[in-house]
Structure 1
Amino acid sequence: MTNYKSQSKINALIKKKSKCVIIPHKNPDGDALGSSLALNFFLKKSGIDSVIISPNDFPDFLKWMPGAEDIINYQMSESKAKKYLEESDLIFVIDFNDPKRSGEMSDFINNSYDKIVMIDHHENPKDFCSVKFSQPKYSSTSEMVYDLIQFIDLSLMDKKISTCLYTGIMTDTGSFKFSSTTSKTHYTIGKLIESGANNSLIHQNIYDTFSINRVKLLGIALNNISKLDFGPYIIITLSKNELQECSYKKGDTEGFVNYGLAIDGIELSIILIDNIDEGNIKISFRSKSYFPVNLFAEKYFNGGGHHNAAGGICYDKLNKTKDKLIVSLKSFIYE
């Protein structure tokens, strides 16, 4: 579906509905939260009763964002969240294209096809919603939300919306260095700054607020880097004990995987994190030009994402997961 058709359908729906719920993916990142918060502000300014329900909590370094204090945590306030969901007549799912990315909320989403609208920039969307605004070529879902607002009523753009969208685009493009960043992305960023986004302050809030424990954890991760002998690949590991020693909090490992790509000649960086909260191994993949980490993650580790940035999970122990990863890398064939 073209942007025009998708945006027209969403615009028509908004004009008819009065109670909206916005759902980002589980473990929401800067783009999921930025696009959700911006859309929430826009809907409210359009006269619509709107609320954000996150499947679970999100990192402290994102809690400064405008409107973040009003987000309902499904895990912490399930009965309250369910009441909003049941009373809603329109539900936006933001920055994910598969119900399983919503954790405990997936059953409700799967049973609400007629009132679900998806806005997302990942590949291979599932068929679980009545309207899809799906464009993998966009840098971020936040850039898509900007285009949607521009299509419907750009006069409603303000500092809060611009701040949220700038944060989402900045974090999902690696501060505009990933290949998904286009001239159009930079144009959008310019417009957001014109609308009040303070780019220097946003960058400071995201990247310059590490705790001492988070810096120590980064040191451990860097010390655990190993280069594989059969390719330009880096693996980083963090065990449960190492996380606990640094009083790990959600979001503390955000961005650690990117350090592997800073090494000269490395094309693929992978981090394996012993997930304290969920009893599995969380895997993040980042690559340079040629390695399709989304296909690799989908084939071997129950995951997916983008060509150069993806995630996955494994339910083995950390060492077994690393062994499986090495075997999978040796056997993976791609064009």
Structure 2
Amino acid sequence: MILKGFEALKTFLAKPRNIVIVGHRNPDGDAVGSTLALKLYLDKKGHKATVVMPNEYPDFLHWLPSSDTVYRFDWQNSQSQKAINASEIIFLLDFNALHRVGSDMQNTLEKYPNDFAMIDHHQQPDDVKYMYSDTSICSTCQMVYQFIEMNGDVDLIDKAIATCLYTGIMTDTGSFRFRSTTSKTHRIIADLIDKGAENDKIHNNVYDANSYGRLLLLGQALSNLQIFPEFKTAFITLSEAEKNKFDFQKGDTEGVVNYALSLKGIIFAAIFIEDKEQDIIKISFRSKGRFSVNQFARNHFNGGGHDNAAGGRFDGTMEGMITSFKKLLPNYKEELNSSYEA
């Protein structure tokens, strides 16, 4: 764990401040939940906090409390810039490096004259003035709970804050099934339920709100599944044409890679998604056991994340992506075959 400048940050926040809170590009449940929870907490402490996201997030997260106050940097640029320019500090949540917000917003943040405070659980964080980093914690939402706890303010967590935190912890732990889900995580979840988080409704809002097109897209993705039992590996592909065929919406591929990992005997899974807007292949990796997809993504696909969940990108065609990936697998055969025992 890295806890840097915490007492100085407490002193800085002892009087009302203008604050901006930023999540990463293509924000997921943990990014949205943690930024909104921190905003609601800071507002209760007398600050003026504004959440600015680099771009849109999935529709199944728009029901979260205070979601309607979020600025999108790509779409509401003037409002976002105004909030950033007026702020006295920027909190960076659920990402470890400024490039994770996308080049346009990165350029703005790199010119920011004041300080950053980072709360994040990804490996190898950038150095900023104030930092709470812990790669052993399952989600940034759990870290925000513990940040509030360290400030002695757990009693300020109300139903709205609890709902946001529960959502992020639930989504980043695969509904509490990943190894990073600890007994402390469950104790925090119990407290969030006691404070008003309605676990059944939250789960339904996130996981039982599929469109017809999303289910058809999932069927297409599963039909594209390829398996390499000798490497205990499977991957899924989705082309731009396939996405368009089923009226793709942001968030529709969330969690699809886990279907590949759910196969018996598979410990390394990936999904490759064509993104014509950025002219890249977006990649999500998942693994079981000791095989680090974080290191694999860093070594080969300009990415990173956690040991068992990471992302990356490939600048080229889908055919080139598949060829490159297949060529790498023999180099990891021994590691893949010894990294996990069911």
Short-chain TM bin: over 0.9
Listed as ranges, the gaps of 5+ residues in structure 2 are: none
CA distance in 1 between partners of 2:108 and 2:92 (Å): 12
Q: What SS does the aligned partner of 1:230 have?
A: helix
Confirm whether residue 86 of structure 1 aligns to residue 85 of structure 2: yes
Instruction: Report SS of the residue matched to 2:167.
Output: helix
Render the CA deviation track for 1:25-64: whole Å, top value 9, x for unaligned: 0000000010000000001011101100000010101111
Change (3 A) 1:164 1:6: farther
**What TM-score does the superposition give when structure 1 sets the normalisation length?**
0.96
Code of the residue aligned with 2:195 in structure 1: it is S
* Counterpart-to-counterpart distance in 2, 1:63 and 1:32: 13
Deviation at 1:9, TM superposition (A): 3.5
How many angstroms does 1:2 deviate by? 5.0
Asked if the contact 2:6/2:130 (under 8 Å) is kept, the reply is no
How many residue pairs end up in the alignment? Answer: 333
Matched, 1:116 2:116: yes
The alpha carbon displacement at 1:15 in A equals 1.5
Q: Verify the 8 A CA contact 1:7 1:148 in the aligned structure 2.
A: no
Kept after mapping to 2: 8 A contact 1:17/1:89: no
Q: Which residue does 2:72 correspond to in 1?
A: 73
Query: In structure 1, what is the equivalent of residue 41 of structure 2?
Result: 42
Q: What does residue 286 of structure 1 align with?
A: 286
Does 1:321 find its partner at 2:312?
no
Q: TM-score, normalised by structure 2?
A: 0.94
Amino acid at match of 1:311: G
Moved over 6 A (4+): none
Q: Tell me, in whole angstroms, the C-alpha distance in 1 between the residues paired with 2:229 and 2:179.
A: 27
Contact 1:109 1:116 in 2 (8 A): no
Separation in 2, partners of 1:108, 1:9: 25
SS in 1 for 2:285: strand
Aligned position for 2:100: 101
CA RMSD of aligned residues (A): 1.5
Q: Does 1:150 align with 2:183?
A: no
**Maintained 8 Å contact 1:272/1:283:** yes
| Distance change in 2, residues 1:318/1:271 (3 Å) | same
Equivalent residues in 2 for 1:238-257, closer than 5 Å = 238-257=238-257
CA distance, structure 1, for counterparts of residue 184 and residue 154 of structure 2: 17
Shift of 1:97: 0.8
User: Which SS does the other structure have where 2:91 is aligned?
Assistant: strand
Name whichever of 113-122 and 57-66 sits farther off.
Answer: 113-122
Residue 51 of structure 1 aligns with an amino acid whose one-letter code is T
Shift of 1:109: 2.3
Q: Conserved in 2, the CA contact under 8 Å of 1:273 and 1:281?
A: yes
Indicate if the aligned counterparts of 1:113 and 1:130 stay in contact, CA closer than 8 A: no
Aligned pair in 2 of structure 1 residues 176, 112: CA closer, same or farther (>3 Å)?
A: same
Distance in 1 separating the partners of 2:12 and 2:141: 20
| Mapped partners of 1:30, 1:179: distance in 2 | 18
* Matching residue of 1:22: 21
3-state DSSP class of the match of 2:231?
Answer: coil
Q: Aligned residue for 1:13?
A: 12
How far the C-alpha of 1:198 sits from its partner, in A, is: 0.2
Q: 1:146 to 1:56 in 2, by over 3 A?
A: same
Deviations 1:242-271 (A, max 9, x none): 101001011100000000111111101100
C-alpha contact (below 8 Å) 1:17/1:90 kept by paired residues: no
The one-letter amino acid paired with 2:263 is I
Compared with structure 1, are the counterparts of its residues 207 and 213 closer, same or farther at alpha carbon in structure 2 (3 Å cutoff)?
same
Partner of 2:182: 182
Per-residue CA deviation, residues 267-312 of structure 1 (Å, 9 max, x unaligned), is 0110000114322100000101121000000110000000000000
The corresponding residue for 1:52 is 51
Q: CA deviation at 1:113?
A: 6.7
State the one-letter code of the partner of 1:49: K
CA distance in 2, matches of 1:159, 1:301: 40
